[in-house]
Amino acid sequence: MIDQFPALIIVAPLLGAFLTPIIGWRYRQLCRPWALMILAIPLYAAGGALLQVIRSGPFGYNLGGWAPPWGIEYRIDHLSGLMLVLIAAIGLLAAINAKPGVSMDLKGKEPHFYTLLLLQITGLMGIVITGDLFNIFVFLEISSLSGYGLIAHGEDGAPMATFNYIIIGTIGASFYLLGVGYLYMATGSLNIADLAAILPNLYHSKMILVGFAFFTTGVAIKMGLFPLHVWMPDAYTTAPGPVSTLIAPLMTKVAAYIMIRIMFTLFQPDFSISVVPVATILGWMAVVAIIVGGIKALAQTDIKRMVTYIMIAEVGYIVMGVSVMNRPGLTGAILHIVNDACMIFGLFLIIGAISYKGHGREIYHFQNLNKKMPFTMAAFVIVALSMCGIPPACGFFSKWYLIMGTIVAKQWVFSITLLCSSLVNAVLFFRIIEKAYLAPLGGGAHGHDDDHEEEVIVRDEAPASMLIPILITAAIIIILGPLSGKIIAAVIQHAVPAAF
């Protein structure tokens, strides 16, 4: 059974996605239990695969029984095992959380939503699990296409944002495909392990350099790295609540995974340092991304849009950890992929719950929200503390490693940027926490309040299907913090190349 886990991880959600419209055709209410059941399979299989990797090292799965350099190989190592569990867990929690949001934003479209959700998870898991460069392109497009379909259902600006996302996303995927073409021309292979063995002799070939440039640009577009981020804020802000909850935490992180794969598995780390100075360029782009993301986030009053700009800064964190090219830096980057996915997921869950309860997304709408939604706001405080990097929560630990990485690399500007960015996060979140917890009752900005305006604040908490994922995510954020040492020892340290 465990031999078949890699295939099961992809096949279960893929087949499940095709059966969802058939089920939803007659019994619309069955779509959600069906999707939950299907999503439990990859979570179980991914967990099993990760344990297998921890116990006995990376393993492969030959799809259709074709041996690796010719056939498509699914390869699970420490990094992909970790990502698989992350994607499966967030996918399942997002599906649990989706019920009230779907019934509000996407009424009558339950089969559409759950079909695309399953396809999205298939695509993301496929990118992570496959050991074949062209296969990554196919799965990248599966996840992007289902993402376009989901985002287009959103509020006023959504179709326009989706169209821009389609155009820019297609440029990104096409650049990636061109990179595959150039590497194929030079080597005649598409298998990552096979290419990694062939490539070192060809590092100075122009074809390889051009291919690498296309790879990096294409992945940076999908990741939303600073100058190529233009599609991101609009697309994720206008998407329906349950959709941005699903896509926003995962898509950028999986693209970051592809970048780590290309820079550290496909190519030797040495390539990005000495052959072409990609690492330096990416590092400075990350600095700009963090600064611009922070400033733009400060300028927003809509919290959902603010979070999308924070995401741009967080992508900068990950890229910065990659770019310093040392062990603590890359450890921090991988840990931050996990932590940041949880934190952004938590934020979008909370925003979804608040919107569902009919509160606006502007900051002044948060006034006294702690009285109305105490549990949701408590979770919000936990996520906010984690975003600012306060110790027991997980955000502190990945930032610690990232800053260590920049110090080891003696890149002082990078260290200062990271520290300042934490301060900016503190400002961003404390102005909301202050509004929610500390603002005077009733009157608010007016100061003096008329007596008749003194409304009784009734507790009006989000429904259980939204509250449970929120509380689980908040708990995960706290638990991941003290556990991060164990995660690094068991998983991440094996994902970092031995050369570091």
Q: Which residues bind another protein (CB under 8 A)?
A: 134, 137-138, 141, 145, 148-149, 152, 156-157, 159-160, 162-163, 166-167, 170-171, 173-174, 177-178, 181, 184-185
Question: Minimum CB separation from another protein for residue 119, in Å?
Answer: 11
Residues 6 or more apart in contact with residue 207 via CB below 8 angstroms:
182, 183, 185, 186
Which CB, 110 or 132, lies closer to another protein?
132
Which CB, 14 or 92, lies closer to another protein?
14
Question: Minimum CB separation from another protein for residue 206, in Å?
Answer: 12
Nearest to 308 by CA among 260, 252, 354: 252
Question: Minimum CB separation from another protein for residue 305, in Å?
Answer: 15
Residues 6 or more apart in contact with residue 200 via CB below 8 angstroms:
268
Which CB, 171 or 426, lies closer to another protein?
171
Nearest to 95 by CA among 16, 197, 185, 207: 16
| CA distances (Å), origin 248, targets 8, 354, 385 | 25, 17, 20
Question: Minimum CB separation from another protein for residue 163, in Å?
Answer: 5
Residue type for 495, please? A
Question: Minimum CB separation from another protein for residue 190, in Å?
Answer: 8
Q: Is the dihedral of CA 221, 225, 229, 235 positive or negative?
A: positive
Residue type for 187, please? T
- Cα–Cα distance between 34 and 495 in angstroms, integer? 35
Residue type for 294, please? G
Which CB, 134 or 437, lies closer to another protein?
134
Q: Can you say how many angstroms the Cα of residue 3 is from the centroid of all Cα atoms in its chain?
A: 28
Radius of gyration of the chain from Cα atoms?
22
Which CB, 305 or 372, lies closer to another protein?
305
Which CB, 124 or 471, lies closer to another protein?
124
Question: Minimum CB separation from another protein for residue 246, in Å?
Answer: 17
Which CB, 235 or 248, lies closer to another protein?
235
Instruction: Sort 24 into a burial class: Cβ within 10 Å, 0-12 / 13-18 / 19+.
Output: buried
- Cα–Cα distance between 372 and 253 in angstroms, integer? 33
Which residues on neighbouring strands pair with residue 73, listed in sequence order?
Answer: 62
Which CB, 177 or 432, lies closer to another protein?
177
How many Cβ atoms sit within 10 Å of the Cβ of residue 445?
Answer: 9
Which CB, 153 or 494, lies closer to another protein?
153
Question: Minimum CB separation from another protein for residue 387, in Å?
Answer: 31
Which CB, 136 or 394, lies closer to another protein?
136
Which residues on neighbouring strands pair with residue 59, listed in sequence order?
Answer: 76
Residue type for 343, please? M
Nearest to 395 by CA among 407, 387, 404, 384: 387
CB-side neighbour CA atoms (13 Å) of 105: 28
Q: Can you say how many angstroms the Cα of residue 149 is from the centroid of all Cα atoms in its chain?
A: 18
Question: Minimum CB separation from another protein for residue 170, in Å?
Answer: 6
How many Cβ atoms sit within 10 Å of the Cβ of residue 352?
Answer: 28
Question: Minimum CB separation from another protein for residue 253, in Å?
Answer: 22
Which CB, 9 or 166, lies closer to another protein?
166
Question: Minimum CB separation from another protein for residue 73, in Å?
Answer: 16
Task: Tell me if 78 sits within 8 A of 495, measured CB to CB.
Answer: yes
Question: Minimum CB separation from another protein for residue 137, in Å?
Answer: 8
Which residues on neighbouring strands pair with residue 74, listed in sequence order?
Answer: 61, 130
